[in-house]
């Protein structure tokens, strides 16, 4: 980390949680690795007085730092937007909605709802309930605690050796996509048989394997159980080799998670297992 990079202040302003604006803003700012960004979240700006407060906060930072803050706004209410824009001279104001709503209105032949925020009422929506159910499912079916009747309900069954990345991946699949994922750890008995555990056979089309480099696996396991046989490089080499042999033999689609983020792993799984969603 180069600490001599200049710092700029960024505001994420939203009438709801601001999480979408923040995530999107991060991906834009990632294009500018030579600058460090200090961020302030201003969520729940759902009336004009709050927009006024926020505009003052932005102007204050501009005065104090002598630099224009970068303001990402996903405010929908036109009055609030206008209020925030009053800070315009002292900030770079980036409206994440305005630009896209009009072409969509023209294309769909509809006016936009101009509802405040996308998360209002979300907690009651079927989509949201599906995500929470999927999180509970992942928590309950982590680490192979699954019966055949549970595996029927799973959208995906992740197989791989212990600590190959199954748990964070299944939680991400649940949280982002509402996908129910069960974990099925491959253990020495499976390797000795060099066969898939019997109960997995009928769920072949849901299986997805994760593998990892032995070095990385050993490091991760050392943190859990230092100086154990379980964490030793030799044992990690043996397990990974045996697991890959098994997955090849059984024709299971798999991915090396060593240098992949849970976002990358999950997007690949969604593409491979072909889970379609409508919203």
Question: Under rule CB under 8 A, which residues in 15-44 are in contact with a copy of itself?
Answer: 16-20, 23-24, 26-41, 43-44
Q: Pairing between strand 254-256 and 207-211?
A: parallel
Range 154-183, binding a copy of itself (CB under 8 A):
167-168, 171-172, 175-176
Q: Of the ranges 90-98, 150-158, 225-233, 242-250, which one interacts with a copy of itself (CB under 8 A)?
A: 90-98
Q: How far apart are CA 86 and CA 103, in angstroms?
A: 25
Range 59-88, binding a copy of itself (CB under 8 A):
68, 70, 74, 76
In whole angstroms, the minimum distance from the beta carbon of 248 to a copy of itself comes to: 23
**Which of residues 194 and 261 has its CB atom nearest to a copy of itself in the complex?**
261
Distance (Å) of CA 234 to CA 20, 81, 230, 237, 240: 44, 60, 9, 5, 10
In whole angstroms, the minimum distance from the beta carbon of 131 to a copy of itself comes to: 8
**Which of residues 30 and 205 has its CB atom nearest to a copy of itself in the complex?**
30
185 is a contact residue toward a copy of itself (CB under 8 A): no
Residue given tokens 């990402």 in the structure block: 72
Q: How far apart are CA 276 and CA 236, in angstroms?
A: 35
Among 100, 188, 241, 253, binds a copy of itself (CB under 8 A): 100
**Which of residues 200 and 217 has its CB atom nearest to a copy of itself in the complex?**
217
107 is a contact residue toward a copy of itself (CB under 8 A): yes
Q: Of the ranges 52-60, 100-108, 199-207, 235-243, which one interacts with a copy of itself (CB under 8 A)?
A: 100-108
94 is a contact residue toward a copy of itself (CB under 8 A): yes
Dihedral over Cα of 40, 43, 48, 49: its sign: negative
Give Cα 48 distance to the centre of its chain: 32
226 is a contact residue toward a copy of itself (CB under 8 A): no
**Which of residues 17 and 232 has its CB atom nearest to a copy of itself in the complex?**
17
Q: Indicate the burial class of 84 (C-beta count within 10 angstroms; 0-12, 13-18, 19 or more).
A: buried
DSSP-assigned letters across all residues of 13-67: E-SS--HHHHHHHHHHHTT-TTSEEEEEEE----SHHHHHHHHHHHHHHHHHHSS
End-to-end CA distance of the chain: 40
Q: Of the ranges 82-90, 149-157, 242-250, 271-279, which one interacts with a copy of itself (CB under 8 A)?
A: 271-279
> What is the total count of residues that contact a copy of itself (CB under 8 A)?
80
DSSP-assigned letters across all residues of 93-147: EEETTHHHHHHHHHHHTS-----S-S-TTGGGSHHHHHHHHHHHHHHHTGGG---
118 is a contact residue toward a copy of itself (CB under 8 A): yes
195 is a contact residue toward a copy of itself (CB under 8 A): no
238 is a contact residue toward a copy of itself (CB under 8 A): no
């Amino acid at each position: 980390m180069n600490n001599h990079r200049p710092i700029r202040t960024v505001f994420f302003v939203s009438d709801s949680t601001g999480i979408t604006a923040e995530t999107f803003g991060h991906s834009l700012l990632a294009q500018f690795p030579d600058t460090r960004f200090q961020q302030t979240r201003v969520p729940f700006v759902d009336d004009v007085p709050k927009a006024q407060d926020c505009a003052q906060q932005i102007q204050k930072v501009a005065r104090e730092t002598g630099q224009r803050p970068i303001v990402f706004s996903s405010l929908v209410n036109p009055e609030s937007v206008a209020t925030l824009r009053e800070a315009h001279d002292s900030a770079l104001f980036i409206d994440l909605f305005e630009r896209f709503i009009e072409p969509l209105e023209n294309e769909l032949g509809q006016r936009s709802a101009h509802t405040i925020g996308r998360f209002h009422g979300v907690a009651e929506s079927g989509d949201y309930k599906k995500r929470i159910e999927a999180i509970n499912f992942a928590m309950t079916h982590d680490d192979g605690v699954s019966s055949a009747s549970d595996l029927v309900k799973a959208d995906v069954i992740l197989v791989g050796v212990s600590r190959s990345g199954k748990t964070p991946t299944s939680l991400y699949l649940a949280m982002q996509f509402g996908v129910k994922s069960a974990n099925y750890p491959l253990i020495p008995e499976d390797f000795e048989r060099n066969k898939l555990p019997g109960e997995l056979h009928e769920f072949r089309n849901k299986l997805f394997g994760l593998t990892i480099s032995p070095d990385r696996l050993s490091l991760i396991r050392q943190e859990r159980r230092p100086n154990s046989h379980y964490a030793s490089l030799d044992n990690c080499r043996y397990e990974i080799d045996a697991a890959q042999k098994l997955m090849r033999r059984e024709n299971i689609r798999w991915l090396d998670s060593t240098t992949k983020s849970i976002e990358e792993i999950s997007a690949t799984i969604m593409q491979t297992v072909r889970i379609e969603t409508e919203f």
